Amino acid sequence: MFSTETATESDAADAHSYLLNTSHDLLEDHLAAKESELDFALKDEHIDDVSFSAFDHGPLYDRYDESGPSSVQPGDNNDFSEPGGSHMSLKGDGDDARPALDGTVDQHHVSVDDDTTPGDAVVPSAADSAMHVDDSNGMSKMISDEFEMNHHTPLHQGTPEINVAIPASATGLDDEPKHHNTLSGRVQKNTKDTPRSSNMSIKQESPGLTARPSGYPPIGKNLPAFRAKSSIPAHIPVLEFARQCILAAQSSRLNPFALHPGEYELLRDHITPPQVTVYLNIRNAILRLWTRNPLVAVTKAEAAGCARDARYFDMSQVAYKWLVRNGYINYGCIELQSTAGPISRAKARGGKRRTIVVAGAGMAGLGCARHLEGLIAQLGEQWTNNGERPPRVVVLEGRKRIGGRVYSHPLKNQSKSTLPPGLRNTVEMGAQIITGFEHGNPLNCIIRGQLALRYHTLKDDTIIYDTDGAVVDQEGDILVEKLYNDILERVSQFRNKAPPPQTVEGDRRLIQLGRDPSNDSGDLISSLEDAGASQTVPSLNSNKIKKTLSLGGWDQDIGNEFEGPHSHIIGGYQQLPRGLWQSPTKLDVRFNSPVKSIRQENARHVVECDNGDIIEADEVVVTIPLGVLKRGVISFSPPLPEWKTAPIQRLGFGLLNKVALVYDTPFWEPDRDIFGTLNEAELRDSMEQKDYESRRGRFWLFWNCIKTTGRPTLVALMAGNAAHDTEVTDDHVLVREVTERLSKMFAPAIVPLPTEYIVTRWKKDPFAGGSYSFMGPTAQPGDYDAMARPIGSLHFAGEATCGTHPATVHGAYLSGLRAASEVVDSMLGPIEVQHPLVAPKAKQGTPTLGAGAGTKRGREEMDSVESRNVRQARNEDLEVLITAAILEQVGERPHKPERTGNNPYLLYTRDHWHSVKAECDEQRRAATGDANAKASKDHIRTVLGAKWRNAPNEVQQPYLDEANKLKEASATAAAEYKEKAAVWEKGAARIRTEFMARNLAQGESFSGKTAIETGSTRRERRVVS
């Protein structure tokens, strides 16, 4: 329940007392104006409802950080398309930090019209997409001469508008053409003003899908011709490629050096220990493709191109299928090509189509439904080949809005906003913080890589005010923090450590060097384990331990935290669930449909809603909050088993309420994001903890939301007993109390009453029942896992089912991905792995047996070839050892500094392109009478050139000064690099010489340099024997 009030306007009563009294609906109006670049919104015309570094042990690499430009390699120019790094890795410090969607959409090369700015492009749909291709510098290559860096090419740092059209559905079941939505940091409905792209072409800079060379093993029926190494950049250093692959795995929550337990169970009967390294190299390379460009789905052919040998094509497809099914790639708001084909009359089953029902349209429900739609599209042929139509997904939502506990409430007064055009003034009623984008947060790909939402990075400059309004001494604050951490360390002794999962590691050194083992033969993993060579063995008494210690699981999510600064979404967190709902096509969400009962009849479920709707479903996913499950408002038939109901009752469901205060002008420090307060005990100066319980969480923290709401707004948090008191305390009492507190804190400034305020009461919300799950005093460490475990075709998701990330938005989303994978496994069965997975290795270079094979000359030729192969394998091993020795002692070769654009005209163009383009477009429309007319790039450049030449000195001088500074900085960096490179090369030469002296036998020699010494991928060595 929420209550709101303004000083000038009375509230209109809503039909439901637990909803916000202000019935302003975010979906009732356009959230974004036409010219807005970054808001993600749609006007709905049909519904009048509320819308809205854990593995980095190795010595080779620095601390994991995604903030660097991922598609710009050492020594390369910084491409216009990535002014601050790729759109996946831009880390902004400003209030409008957002991804930079590059014109080429990473490695996809397309031709564009003249009515787009430099960097704009038409993105190929999944049906038309080519392979992810790196150019010779490992960068996104500019598309045409118009995009080449010259004196006439403006720098582009904005978010381009991307118009995409896709062909009609390939399912054979739907004749209606589907259009990719228009993205300009948001999604708009496809209208007559968004024509189907007709001039799209794709240019491949490296070999793509061509005819397979003779001698390649068969790869399965109806599969495209695969080409080994086609997804491995040919001209970036091997070590740099390996580094990118390792970081991609880490940023996907996977250990780059070991199999995930799910992979281990899938592969243990099919691969040998050396082949684990091969598999991990392929898997990490596939993840690299996805993390570098999450706007385009990774294809099977691209996955096969991550294999270095055609023998591993089948292995690459297993890795691809596992990553897709489990939501590590191809998830979120992207267009996916349907593989469903027409159903033959012989196989047709009367148009049979199964139904999947998802109960709840919060982050877990929307994430599950969206991923299900994606999996159904990618695996559609498995249904149609069996004579049935791909299943449909229906989402049932009790509220008349989406988002669940993610709710951005619009302020009544939308004037005087400081937000970018098109964004509305909203304040967060529920979830508010993104706890770091880096090291595996799946929301990184969606928020920054796909939806291009603006976000504000929070500064760690919190101050605390004492009960009398004075600022708490920093030394005292640090002392209390040390005491708190000491208590945590003592409590950690009671932590119930989960047994390590059984898995297998690859060769860490080879993976870091980007190499496959030279010999992959041997016994299968399962055979070695049966013989007693298992790497990890779960504790036999772990189950007994789990049920005896209640303190053991209080921090069961430790070690799974993401990295990077915390952030708020500018314009509302609810843009995220709205994006999942709307893009690329709208999900089938049934509003005002709270689930009343779920009963199983034969092999199906009958889902009944309070409004009388009844849906028969083959699979059901329950994403209802834990607080609602505790109340037992949903009837299950047959009843849930005890192993499911017991965790529901044991886990706690906490409460956090908010009091949002809106003012005309700020009386606090506008640039300080957070400040806290201390509360007096019930008995003044008491030293007893119980005397602080009722007041400790009362207005204990304030968020300064000016930069995210666009209005002077403070959000006060009510926790603990105070949160429960909020449920029954009158709004006016709360506002008067918080005003008195603020008056003490900011005296002598006069603190007025707020012009608008909003009070949340999540406990009274029948669709929430509280705020978040936590480990209650009787909870057991295995309870979160039990909450997630399905009961046949009845599945469960939500933050209370994610033990690694409970009580978080990303945890809810991850649980939705997991549930979607379980549903598909239930319907299609597990991933099939053919046997043998890897064909035996044929001898390379063996001459074909012919008439002279038995002659002396023929035998000499065969002996010569075999000798050369042995020497080559040995020299490759020597190269690995030398490289490892160099890296261990002197580290990686210094990176050549990037070139900077130090032309003053280019700097001027960077700042004025969009304003000049707008002027030229307006002149073009006035001259032609066409409301959609746009000026050509050549005309815009001509106007820009004239403006620059005629600009007064005071306009030109800042750009001249900036260009000179860039030149000086570039010269300094080049000199430093030259000096460091000379020192490094001297050390590498010494290490090589010492290594040769220690390891080569008398009479042997090995000359040349390894790839790391030359700074290239070619092994420029000469072998002398």
Q: Name the strand (E) or helix (H) holding 1018.
A: none
Residue with the larger pLDDT of the pair 567 and 520? 567
**Range 315-322 average pLDDT:** 97
- pLDDT band for 491, please (50, 70, 90 cuts): confident
Going by C-beta distance under 8 Å and a sequence separation of 6 or more, which residues neighbour residue 145? none
DSSP string, 605-630: EEEEETTS-EEEESEEEE---HHHHH
- pLDDT band for 190, please (50, 70, 90 cuts): very low
Residue with the larger pLDDT of the pair 425 and 989? 425
- Contact between 374 and 331 (Cβ < 8 Å): yes
Residue 178 is assigned to a structural domain of this protein: no
DSSP 647: H
**Alpha helices (runs of H) in 235-344, residue ranges in sequence order:** 238-250, 261-267, 273-292, 300-304, 313-325
- pLDDT band for 1017, please (50, 70, 90 cuts): very low
**Range 23-30 average pLDDT:** 32
DSSP-derived 3-state class of residue 943: helix
- Domain boundary (769, 799, 828) is at 828
- Domain boundary (828, 853, 868) is at 828
Amino acid sitting at position 118: P
DSSP 387: T
CA-to-CA distance for 519 and 528, rounded, in angstroms?
17
- Domain boundary (764, 799, 828) is at 828
Do 994 and 908 fall into the same domain? Answer: yes
Do 646 and 785 fall into the same domain? Answer: yes
- Residue 844: per-residue pLDDT: 52
Amino acid sitting at position 315: M
Do 816 and 914 fall into the same domain? Answer: no
**Range 763-770 average pLDDT:** 96
Do 806 and 915 fall into the same domain? Answer: no
Domain with 596, as residue range(s), is: 353-405+574-651+779-828
Residue 667 is assigned to a structural domain of this protein: no
Going by C-beta distance under 8 Å and a sequence separation of 6 or more, which residues neighbour residue 493? none
- Contact between 408 and 572 (Cβ < 8 Å): yes
pLDDT tens column, 129-165: 334 444 433 333 332 333 233 333 233 333 333 333 3
Do 913 and 1005 fall into the same domain? Answer: yes
- Residue 856: per-residue pLDDT: 58
Residue 643 is assigned to a structural domain of this protein: yes
Residue with the larger pLDDT of the pair 632 and 171? 632
pLDDT reading at 351 higher than 70: no
Task: Indicate the pairing of strand 674-677 with strand 656-662.
Answer: unpaired
Residue 849 is assigned to a structural domain of this protein: no
| Residues recorded for the chain | 1025
Burial class of residue 572, CB neighbours in 10 A (0-12, 13-18, 19+): buried
pLDDT reading at 639 higher than 70: yes
CA-to-CA distance for 1003 and 1025, rounded, in angstroms?
8
Do 641 and 789 fall into the same domain? Answer: yes
Residue 658 is assigned to a structural domain of this protein: no
Amino acid sitting at position 738: V
- Token look-up 């030394």 returns 475
- Residue 535: per-residue pLDDT: 53
**Range 350-365 average pLDDT:** 91
pLDDT reading at 192 higher than 70: no
- Residue 957: per-residue pLDDT: 92
- Contact between 427 and 660 (Cβ < 8 Å): yes
Angle at 138 between CA 133 and CA 141, to 5 degrees: 65
- Contact between 283 and 329 (Cβ < 8 Å): no
Number of domains in the chain: 2
Residue with the larger pLDDT of the pair 450 and 30? 450
| CATH assignment at residue 608 | 3.50.50.60
Q: What percent of the chain has pLDDT over 70?
A: 68
CA-to-CA distance for 750 and 664, rounded, in angstroms?
13
pLDDT reading at 948 higher than 60: yes
DSSP-derived 3-state class of residue 865: helix
- pLDDT band for 533, please (50, 70, 90 cuts): low
pLDDT tens column, 822-864: 999 999 999 999 989 998 876 655 444 444 445 656 555 555 6
Do 785 and 933 fall into the same domain? Answer: no
* Average pLDDT of the chain to the nearest whole number: 75
- Residue 117: per-residue pLDDT: 35
- Token look-up 């995220």 returns 576
Of residues 197, 208, 107, the one with CA closest to residue 161: 197
- Residue 682: per-residue pLDDT: 74
- Please provide residue 353's backbone torsions phi and psi, each rounded to the nearest 5 degrees: -145, 120
522: left (phi over 0), alpha (psi -120 to 50) or beta: left
pLDDT reading at 460 higher than 90: no
- pLDDT band for 319, please (50, 70, 90 cuts): very high
Residue 399 is assigned to a structural domain of this protein: yes
Residue with the larger pLDDT of the pair 214 and 365? 365
Angle between the N-to-C axes of helices 363-378 and 313-325, in degrees from 0 to 180, rounded to the nearest 10:
150
DSSP 794: E
Do 1009 and 920 fall into the same domain? Answer: yes
Sign of torsion over alpha carbons 369, 373, 378, 383: positive
**Range 756-769 average pLDDT:** 96
- Token look-up 């590590």 returns 328
Residue 223 is assigned to a structural domain of this protein: no
Of residues 262, 191, 431, 171, the one with CA closest to residue 821: 262
- Please provide residue 9's backbone torsions phi and psi, each rounded to the nearest 5 degrees: -140, 135
